[in-house]
Structure 1
Amino acid sequence: MNRYGTFLRATLAAGVATMALAGCGMMGMNSNTASFSGAMNASSEVPPNMTRGSGMAEATLDKGTNVLKYKVTYSGLSGPATAAHFHGPAVAGANAGVVVPFTSAATPIEGTATLTPAQAADLMAGKWYANVHTAANPGGEIRGQMLPK
């Protein structure tokens, strides 16, 4: 029984060590990527509006190359989207200029952009938002602040 206990402890210790090392390797691979998301709605627009549209903006930033990959989906807008883009730098409740225009406003919106170091820093600080515009709401119908996950 003593040998079995020693064998069991050694096996468990080896398994824990292997999992710890694998976890460290995975952390190293993911540490160069940051993920962001923003739930988009009309009440987040500045000023807010009364539409029922909603959406989700999701993005990943490669911190080594500053390449941003994004996907924006939405539904329930008052009419067809006329434009959509990322704005910044601005905290929630404030407006800012366009930093990344989207080539199409049709859902789903997918693309990539290479950011400047200042743009990447603003995004990392939560100072970007995504919004979608319509004819009824030319200043923006739905908006979502891009926050780190």
Structure 2
Amino acid sequence: MPKLPLYGYFLSQSVAVATLGIAMLAAMGNAPTSAIQLVFQADLTGSAESPANASAGTGTALITLDDIANTMRVQVNFSQLTGNTTAAHIHSATASAGTGTAGVATTTPTFPGFPTGVKSGSYDQTFNMLLSSSYNAAFITANGGTTSSAQTALFNGIQSGKAYFNIHTSSFSGGEIRGFLAPMSAPATGVPEPDSILGLIVGTGFLLGLTKKYKMQ
């Protein structure tokens, strides 16, 4: 088999690798975008209320935001409340992170299906944030007048630490236990960076080229 000059050989390998890289990056561009999910947690207590109270009730709220699917998952567990539950909401946005009060941002009079008339319970519901039913109508009006602008405002409020989860009861109409939402985990995405893929392609091509070079000698 005739041997190519060294520079000609590596030139042919580079062209092949570049062609493969372009094809793979083009395929990535046509692939559906992977969702980015952000998870926030709030520890719910009476001492975190405004004003604070001496309730022995406790709870945890997990809020998962998906800015591609435009959804918000609400998971809550609570127990040992003084009064029976009457409503639960996310309030946003306070003037300062981690303190103060704000109006109700989510569905009124309460999250649909949230257990009422109990002192302990759990809840798990995913909301389509492009539906007006996922919000307090007043929150939409105050934040641009559309569900898209309301979603942006609510997600921003949560991410900036200015939103809190509040459980209201018959003993504390303004809220028996609450907690400000804080990041629980880093953003997760299933799509690798294009630069990483291209680097892998080039590196693989170089190694294959060296292997073929020695076989040709």
- TM-score bracket for this pair, using the shorter chain length: 0.7 to 0.9
1:82·1:105 contact (CA, 8 Å) conserved in 2?
no
Q: Aligned partners of 1:132, 1:85: CA distance in 2, in Å?
A: 7
1:75-105 CA-partner distances (Å, limit 9, x unpaired): 0001210111111112322111111131133
> What percentage of residue pairs aligned between the two structures are identical?
33
Aligned pairs (5 A) from 1:130-149: 130-149=165-184
Question: What's the counterpart of residue 112 of structure 1?
Answer: 126
Question: What's the counterpart of residue 11 of structure 1?
Answer: none
Scaled by the length of structure 1, the TM-score of the pair is 0.75
| 1:29 to partner: Cα distance | 5.7
Q: Which has the larger radius of gyration?
A: 2
Question: What's the counterpart of residue 20 of structure 1?
Answer: none
Query: Which one of 75, 90, 115 corresponds to residue 86 of structure 1?
Result: 90
Q: Secondary structure at the match of 2:155?
A: helix
AA of the residue aligned to 2:40: F
| 1:65 to partner: Cα distance | 3.2
Count matched residues: 121
1:95 aligns with 2:101: yes
**Greater helix content:** 2
AA of the residue aligned to 1:104: G
Query: Which one of 40, 43, 49 corresponds to residue 39 of structure 1?
Result: 43
AA of the residue aligned to 2:67: K
Q: Aligned partners of 1:66, 1:46: CA distance in 2, in Å?
A: 31
57-66 vs 77-86, greater mean Cα deviation: 57-66
Q: Secondary structure at the match of 1:126?
A: coil
2:83·2:172 contact (CA, 8 Å) conserved in 1?
no
Structure 1 unmatched runs, 5+: 1-27
Question: What's the counterpart of residue 64 of structure 2?
Answer: 60
Give structure 1 regions of 4+ aligned residues with deviation exceeding 4 angstroms.
none
Q: Secondary structure at the match of 1:98?
A: coil
CA RMSD after TM alignment: 1.7
Q: Aligned partners of 1:84, 1:135: CA distance in 2, in Å?
A: 12
Aligned pairs (5 A) from 1:14-25: none
